[in-house]
Structure 1
Amino acid sequence: MTPDSPVATVFGRSTTKRKAVEDGLGLRTVGELLHHFPRRYVRTTELSEDVTPEEGEMVTVVGEVASSQLKTFTNRRTNKPGHRVEVRVVTQGPEFTATWFLPHRTMAEREQARMAVGSRGLFSGKVQRFNSRWQLAQPHVVIFGRGDGEGGPDETLAASLKGLMPVYPLTAKLYSWDLQKTVAVALDLVSGVEEELPEEVRGRHDLPDVMTALRWIHAPDDMDQVHAARRRFRFAEALVLQLVLARRRAAQRSLGAQARTGGQGRLLEHFDARLPFDLTAGQRKVGAVLEAELARPHPMNRLLQGEVGSGKTVVALRAMLRVVDSGGQAVLLAPTEVLAQQHHRSITAMLGDLAGGGMLGGAEDATRVTLLTGSMGRAQRQAAMLDIATGEAGIVVGTHALLEDEVTFFDLGLVVVDEQHRFGVEQRSALTGKASSPPHVLVMTATPIPRTVAMTVFGDLETSVLRELPAGRAPIATHVAPLAEQPHWEERVWQRVAEEVAAGHQAYVVCPRIVGDEQEVGESDAPADPDSGAEGAAPRAPAQPLTAVEDLAPQLRAGPLAGVRVEVLHGRLSPEEKDTVMRRFAAGEVDVLVATTVIEVGVDVANATTIVVMDADRFGISQLHQLRGRVGRGGLPGLCLLVTRAEAQTPARERLAAVAATTDGFELSRVDLEQRREGDVLGADQSGFRSSLVTLRVLRDERTIVAAREEAERLLEADPDLAAAPVLAQRVTQIEASASSDYLEKA
């Protein structure tokens, strides 16, 4: 039997269990079965203590029968007598009542005798709460020992487990001991399991060989063997991924690109001389790195992440000006029209007459900044496309409209992608493909990414981080307004907004919906079930309708904010309407802007000091942090009020408390990742390795990932083709050829 043998070969005639494994777990081969690892272990020699039951979930515990009763009842449907065996099971933690319904008294007596008082065994079933007690209905049981000290009916299985019972991810009609027995057969019969880790790598990192690790993880003598086996499999997984990324980085370095040294241009020099503020140390450091990489004859591929308001746009603009000085063009791709228009306005304003290239009043070394969005009129669009194609536009700002086939560039030298997690792989590839030679690429995000996420998911990009905030950024106080316990706080929220407006300031109010019956994009950033935080759970209908922009704005005008200039902003307005509203708000002609998450990124109004987020539990941690960053930008202290009807002690409230507790985006990103897993945090388009992360977790396994990256670089430096490690090379090639690798190739 080999790892490629059908899984049916270890099941014999047990078609029910085989189908459960094949169809329910998706395991088709013996190799896949052996790599279906236990998620935890229970000690069969002692009663369970770390049990935290949750209603509706499957639990597996080691317990002792404290009492046993046989009761007769009349079945209401058949009007025939039935028999019920009720057993009270005690652990070192909670107690459970296990109940079996049986049609014949002899069957009931046999079941009761099997579970005599004092018997110890494994009890597995779905847990429910009934009459203030935890219930296990029709659980599956393995009895190891009787109360009289004699061995139980399943003592042979107990002896084979060596004190530790593996608990596997399961499906219906399948129990952990069923899978454990099957895996044991496979481990005895399988041969030809290939070792992917070279002996010297295992030696350097003190890792067991693959067969030893498989035996230790499925049938361990103790937890030390479990830990060693897990470490081996996590390291192997991390190493393969880091090898893929390291080879991608090497391939990028080998590509030819036009060096952008600045030439004889003085645009950047003039811009720096006019800056009304000093760059932070972080901005200067990152700027020097970008300048050096742009001057190299191979493409720059860099991820620039930084806190909200850390000055990423200025850093990116200086890089764009360096490319324009070199005779090339730079493009900035934004995810929304609101953000693209904001970038266009702010870049044009920062450049002043340096943005007046070819126009009356333009500076001698000026360039032209051109905007291209999908909603522009035909004449505007054609004029913009002509500027881009002829090279008149040195800097181009736009949305997805830039990706269309008819948009061509004169000499595209730098692609800047803002809020890159909003774009899919193919979209970014479509833009970089418009250059005659591979362009330099700078992707930016204001969503802080933990170091190991960057190393694992964005590992083909070099990473720069801006942590220092520019001078003039004021602190932001964040408070949760829990309407479930304190409904009167809603009145105080609007009083605070009115007070800020009376003081001459402005405010945002963010709602999850435009109208009350349609879901908006902002809700998708929260876990599937905002009250449970359960991964993959179906969304639970809110107790009352979510706050909608079109409903709340008139209520505020007629009630608590009467006399205040209130306007709305959301995705259903035309681009002209959105632009007009944002211009009026920026000019101070609007006091309160009631909006959806279209104001999440890029919107910069210095006089805005307050943001109220309605139904804040419907948003994820990263999104709340982004929204909060809209205030405190003009030297005035900011205030963020998170309004929620979520109950206390729920995961939703814990998320809000985490946001209120710190303004450190990197700390919040770790909390977010711990709650929602890396693929969800980064978005479906960014989770290129989500399906591949089997045993690896980017926060828990930080040391492993760092060690694997160092090992990958060492291996490739000595043997770029991995000729001395053919199995490892094959694994790397498989990943490179997979759909996951499409992300890496085009990111």
Structure 2
Amino acid sequence: MARKQPARRGVMPLSELLTEKETKALASFDVREIDALLRFAPRRYVVPGPLTSLYDAEVGDDISAVVTVQDIHERTMRNRPGTLLEVDVTDGTATVTLTFFLGKRHLSGWHRSRLPRGARIVVHGTVGEGYRGGRQIVHPDYEQVEDTEEGLAWAQRPRPIYPLRKNISQATMRSATQKGLEFADTAERILPEEVLAHRGLPTLAEAARLLHTPLTLGEARRGMTHLRFEEAFVLQAIFAQRRAQDLRTPAPELRAEGPLQPLFDERLPFTLTEGQHEIGEQLASRIGNGHPTSALLQGDVGSGKTVIALRAMLRAVDSGHQAVLLAPTEVLAEQHHRTIVGLLGDLAGAGHLDGHPDATRVRLLTGSQRTTARRETLLDVTSGAAGIVVGTHALLTESVEFASLGLVVIDEQHRFGVDHRRRLRAKGPGGMSPHVVVMTATPIPRTAALATVGDLDVLTLRESPGRRGGVTSFVVHERLARWEERMWQRAGEEIAAGRQVFVVCARIDEGEADAPAPKELDEYGREKPDPGLAPARGVTQTAERLATRPELAGARIGVLHGRLTTEEKQEVMAEMAAGEIDVLVSTTVIEVGVDVPNASVMIVLDAERFGVSQLHQLRGRVGRGEHPGIAFFDTSAEPGEAHSTHLQAIADTSDGFLLAELDLRRRGAGDLVGEEQSGLQSTVKHLDLLRDSRLIEAAREVAFAVVKGDPDLEEHTQLAGAIALRLRDADPDVERS
């Protein structure tokens, strides 16, 4: 058919170029224009076996052979509709039959037209035993070939294997990409010519040819390198533009050296570690400039992140502004509020007779607060009397207005969406944007990826204050009865020694819909089949069963979950903290922030249903005092099965940064510039954020240089177009994680 030339580069609809079947096949992958087609990479390649003589070929061998068609026969199949087509071929040393079982009559004519007597072809397939004792190759790949060096090299080229949807064939995908290659020169060339030359990269048109019709795997890798660098370049350019925007946005300068922070340091009942001092100084430097900081404060469970954040919050108050600590749950918000008030002492007593002359107020704001308390808190927030405000999502409502918000600290940032952070950004004073610090003990994949590509100022605490007993982790397989029995015995021994136990369940009641286990992805981003797991247990029924276990005889058992009222939750946690509960059966409401130094055992039932970050946080709830902690990851998975292996990998390391990498490999990076929190394919199609770290660093250097010289990309319109396309479905004002 006659093909139209595209009116604009790279945007020719595929419907004007391909057949209806091919257009629908690619549209199922959201590929609708030439640009997208040329960048739609095969998922792998099949390399034909080496050229072999038919004489040397044995049954079971995968071979490639250059042969001549001798004869062709066709007959009706006996036991099913259709015809059997048999083609005898030879290479001069021996003969083999190519066998085709054809359900539709027109397919016979198609093969006959391509396999006339005397045709010279190259055939690829597996040698098998024929119907009458000879040798055959069933449904081989074949194509006509020129008996020249170039022709033979072409015949031996790697064959691209594309991802498929239902009722789509490789032949359809290959036909579509071949047609698209004819228009490779019309595609948008995002990488500047000087970058291609400096990096030794092929042009986009050449990269597309190498990718879809390579003569060797080396050529395919060379083509893919262009796409990987291009993808990294676009992402880094987005980040570079955000950095440039930060430099044009005013923020409060939190530079004051006192009086609150030094007074607080004097009152600390422990000495700050060298790492805490160093990270504290780095953070102070960042929030002291007049442009908004976006920093990730990483530190493993128990490394002292909260103290660093509190010192920064006091610096904000000393500088005449307010600071907010945003927590994902009311339990954690209340815990933070108690901890901060306890650490500050009279420094948190502004307005009270026993308050320090330089004291501020520390207010708590949650959704379930009573009207009177909420009204008093809002007045203090609006007037500026409350220098530090701790709360949940309730802080994000429009009714909460700050006198002068200078610093936002977000604890366990993976529990908050992008929109949450943006709303807090908008609460800065007089058009200024407050500084934002996010804390995490286990970076989720999104954050780990952002740290890799460099969009955050990463502040890392590697050492621990060393005042805790630490935690040892074990995977317990329920199908090995002795293991599970020993787990409960160990819990009973700790209770007998005067310590306490947490038992965590994936849901509240067992009559509810089952809590799904995290999905495993294969190398192509597809969900692996669920191996089949026992139904998850609930808090209510587990507490009842534990009351009858002989190992826990006499133990005082409590329950905690999201359906309890705020007062009930507070009462349970107060009893746990006071040592009046021996075994607390809970949902993940205790995942972060809960501090019971006397708790020494954490048992997570149906552990395969929890994420890496959750399991690491949960075991961080024990071993927080002088006694060492024990964490049991109890699973119904078979030993050695994927879920079991994954849990063992978590149990074997206590390094939160290694666990973040494990999670990144398992779940993907998430949407690096949008709102998705997991699933690598949502943002990066060609990059592996761990394997390609050096390439990403190189792309970062180039992209930042380009944006520095041309902030609005007026001279790089194709890059600007690529960024607009990337942000088409994401809010361009989206904040960093």
TM over 0.5: yes
- Identify the residue that residue 476 of structure 1 maps to in structure 2: 471
Rounded to whole Å, the distance in 2 between the matches of 1:630 and 1:205 is: 49
Q: How does 1:554-633 map to 2 (within 5 A)?
A: 554-560=544-550, 561-633=552-624
Give the equivalent residue in structure 1 for 2:202: 208
Alignment map for 1:223-622 (pairs within 5 Å): 223-262=217-256, 265-436=258-429, 437-448=432-443, 453-455=448-450, 459-484=454-479, 486-519=480-513, 523=515, 526-528=517-519, 537=527, 540=530, 542-560=532-550, 561-622=552-613
Measured after TM superposition, the shift of residue 393 of structure 1 is: 1.2
SS in 2 for 1:740: coil
> Where do 5+ consecutive residues of structure 2 fail to align?
53-60, 66-73, 88-98, 116-120, 127-137
Q: Following the alignment from structure 2 to structure 1, what is the Cα–Cα distance between the partners of residues 376 and 542?
A: 40
| Distance (whole Å) between structure 1 residues aligned to residue 370 and residue 139 of structure 2 | 68
2:676–2:682 Cα contact (<8 Å) kept: no
Q: Distance in 2 between matches of 1:161 and 1:552?
A: 64
CA contact (8 A) 2:64 2:124 kept: yes
**Separation in 1, partners of 2:688, 2:428:** 37
Contact kept? 2:294, 2:457, Cα under 8 Å: yes
SS where residue 730 of structure 2 aligns?
A: helix
For residue 143 of structure 1, report the CA deviation from its aligned partner: 3.2
After superposition, the Cα gap between the structure-2 partners of 1:204 and 1:374, relative to the gap in structure 1 and judged at 3 Å, is same
How much does 1:258 deviate? Answer: 2.2
Aligned partner (choices 30, 36, 41) of residue 37 of structure 1:
41
Q: Distance in 2 between matches of 1:456 and 1:284?
A: 22
- The CA distance in 2 between the partners of 1:177 and 1:709, in whole Å, is 38
1:43 CA drift (Å): 0.8
Q: Count matched residues.
A: 687
Paired with 2:86 and 2:643, the residues of 1 have a C-alpha distance of 37
C-alpha RMSD of the superposition: 3.8
How far apart are residue 184 of structure 1 and its match?
2.1
Deviation at 1:746, TM superposition (A): 6.7
Unmatched tracts of structure 1, length 5 or more: 49-60, 76-80, 88-97, 124-138
Matched residue type, 1:121:
H
CA separation of 1:665/1:739 partners in 2, compared to 1, >3 Å: closer, same or farther?
same
SS in 2 for 1:739: coil
The answer to whether the 8 A contact 1:305-1:449 is kept is no
Pick closer, same or farther for the CA change 1:268–1:668 going to 2, 3 Å.
same
**Shift of residue 450 of structure 1?**
7.5
Give CA-to-partner distance per residue, 1:664-687, whole Å, 9 cap, x none: 111122122112211299996446
1:339 CA displacement? 0.8
CA separation of 1:683 and 1:452: change in aligned 2, threshold 3 A: closer
- Evaluate the alpha carbon distance shift between residue 669 and residue 321 of structure 1 in structure 2; reply closer, same or farther with a 3 A threshold: same
Separation in 1 of the partners of 2:375 and 2:384?
14
In structure 2, how many angstroms separate the alpha carbons of the residues matched to 1:85 and 1:599? 68
Cα displacement (A) at 1:295: 2.0
Letter in 2 for 1:226: A
Q: CA separation of 1:225/1:605 partners in 2, compared to 1, >3 Å: closer, same or farther?
A: same
Are 1:676 and 2:667 matched, yes or no?
yes
Alignment partner of 2:687 out of 687, 692, 696: 696
- The TM-score, its normalising length taken from structure 1, stands at 0.83
What is the letter of the counterpart of residue 554 of structure 1?
E
How does 1:643-658 map onto structure 2 within 5 Å?
Answer: 643-658=634-649
Asked if the contact 1:527/1:535 (under 8 Å) is kept, the reply is no
User: Which residue identity lines up with residue 21 of structure 1 in the other structure?
Assistant: L
Tell me the alpha carbon deviations over residues 335-354 of structure 1, each in whole angstroms, 9 at most, x when there is no partner. 11111011111111111121
Q: Does 1:27 align with 2:31?
A: yes
* Structure 1 residue 713 corresponds to structure 2 residue 707: no
Contact 1:373 1:398 in 2 (8 A): yes
Report the alpha carbon displacement of residue 688 of structure 1 after superposing the two structures with TM: 11
TM-score by length of 2: 0.84
Q: Partner letter of residue 385 of structure 2?
A: E
Judged with a 3 Å threshold, the aligned counterparts in structure 2 of structure 1 residues 29 and 458 are, in CA distance, closer, same or farther, namely: closer
- Contact persistence 2:327–2:411 (CA under 8 A): yes
Residue 186 of structure 2 aligns to a residue whose secondary structure is coil
The answer to whether the 8 A contact 1:353-1:362 is kept is yes
CA distance in 2, matches of 1:509, 1:47: 63
> In the aligned structure 2, how far is the partner of 1:533 from the partner of 1:654?
17
Q: Which residue of 1 aligns with 2:23?
A: 18
Q: Which moved more, 1:471-480 or 1:533-542?
A: 533-542
- The Cα offsets for residues 436-476 of structure 1, whole Å up to 9 and x where unpaired, read as 22112111112235799444688443111112111213232
From the superposition, tell whether residues 483 and 684 of structure 1 become closer, same or farther in structure 2 (CA, over 3 Å).
Answer: farther
Secondary structure at 1:678's aligned position in 2? coil
Shift of 1:100: 4.9
SS of the aligned residue for 2:547 comes to: helix
In the alignment, the residues of structure 2 paired with residue 617 and residue 63 of structure 1 have an alpha-carbon distance, to the nearest angstrom, of 44
- Give 1:110-189 correspondences, 5 Å limit: 120-121=123-124, 142-143=141-142, 160=154, 162-189=156-183
Q: Give distance in 1, aligned partners of 2:356 and 2:17.
A: 79
- Please tell me whether the aligned partners of residues 688 and 740 of structure 1 are also in contact (alpha carbons under 8 angstroms): no
Q: Does the 8 Å contact 1:43/1:62 carry over to 2?
A: no
Within 2, Cα distance between the matches of 1:456 and 1:447?
A: 13
CA, structure 1 residues 271+567, in 2 after alignment: closer, same or farther (shift >3 Å)?
same
CA contact (8 A) 2:441 2:617 kept: yes
| Contact 1:479-1:660 at 8 Å conserved across structures | yes
Instruction: Quote how far apart the aligned CAs of 1:71 are.
Output: 11
**How far did residue 713 of structure 1 move?**
2.3
Structure 2 CA distance, aligned partners of 1:324 and 1:365? Answer: 11
